[in-house]
Amino acid sequence: MNTFIKDIRDGVKGMKWYEWVMAAVMVAIAGLAVYNGFTDPNSYNPGWLTIINFISAVCGVFCVFLTARASIGNFAFAVVNTLVYIVFLAYHRNDGFTATLILETVFYMPMNIAMWVYWAKHRDQIENHKTKAKKLKIWQDVVVAAVITAVALVCYKLLNSYKIGCSTIFDSFVFAIGIIAVCLELLRYREQYALWIITDIFAVAQYIQKFDPVYLTKKSIYLIVAVIGIYNWWKLQKERNIENE
């Protein structure tokens, strides 16, 4: 328990001023959405769901802030964020989020637990609350791109052919990229962030279309932090982790 709390504390202590600013903006927008949800009869989300969104927004941004620095404490926020996000996606499952709902429920949730355990077994030797970072070879990058494309096309075809809700090509690519990105995250590869940048762009496009201010802000922050994350992981791997050289 002491290690669990220390991982969270050390991760949060390392947050930069601009991350606190983004967190404050997220809290403000999510809070306003809660107010609108209970006062505006034309609100996109009912009042109770805006509370769910608020929890997801706060946990989600803290999760990505810590993950961008390879901090093991991120998973405490990740588990809560995934749980409440599943509730949101289930409510809007017929709005083009079916594949993402499946991804979050049967893949992200168990993988969060698996990653938490695996990262903790490979702690950085200098900053103990962080995990070690690895890198892919060029041929592995090519394989990753091919697998993502194939999975996305199969997902889109199956979901729409068998009428499993409603899925867009954007949603299917988010699904495919998300699967591979989480696999790379589990194995601690820095290239995961190249994929997170792509999937966050798709996610921002989805929420612009739906115009949900809370999730649009949240996914926009994810995109910004993903750019920071790829730099941090690249630096961490290059400076002091040579386990896969």
Which tens digits make up the pLDDT trace of 168-200? 677 777 778 888 998 999 999 999 999 989 888
For residue 99, being part of any structural domain is answered with: yes
Number of compact structural domains in the chain = 1
Mean of pLDDT over the chain: 85
Rounded Cα distance between 220 and 218, Å, is 5
130 in any annotated domain = yes
| Residue 179 falls inside a structural domain | yes
Which residue would you say has higher pLDDT here, 34 or 215? Answer: 34
Question: Can you give the residue range of the structural domain that contains 185?
Answer: 2-240
Angstrom CA distances, 151 to 63, 178, 180, stand at: 26, 11, 10
Query: How many Å separate Cα 68 from the centre of its chain?
Result: 11
Is residue 132's pLDDT more than 70? yes
Residue 245, domain member (yes or no): no
What is each CA distance from 177 to 89, 143, 174, in whole angstroms? 18, 13, 5
What integer is the mean pLDDT of 23-49? 86
Percent of residues, the chain, with pLDDT higher than 90:
34
Q: State which H helix or E strand residue 125 sits in.
A: none
Longest dimension (CA), the chain: 58
Residue 245 — very low, low, confident or very high, per pLDDT cuts 50/70/90? very low
Residue 53 lies in a domain: yes
Burial class of 77 by CB neighbour count within 10 A (0 to 12, 13 to 18, 19+):
buried
Is residue 32 a part of any domain in this protein?
yes
Provide the sign of the torsion angle of the four alpha carbons 222, 225, 231, 235, taken in this order: negative
- Please check whether residue 218 lies inside any domain of the structure: yes
Instruction: Quote the Cα angle for 136-8-133, to 5°.
Output: 15
Judged by DSSP in three states, 164 sits in: coil
Q: Which pTM does this prediction carry? A: 0.81
| Strand positions, DSSP E, the chain | none
Q: Tell me which residue of 107, 102, 78 sits closest to 171, measured CA to CA.
A: 102
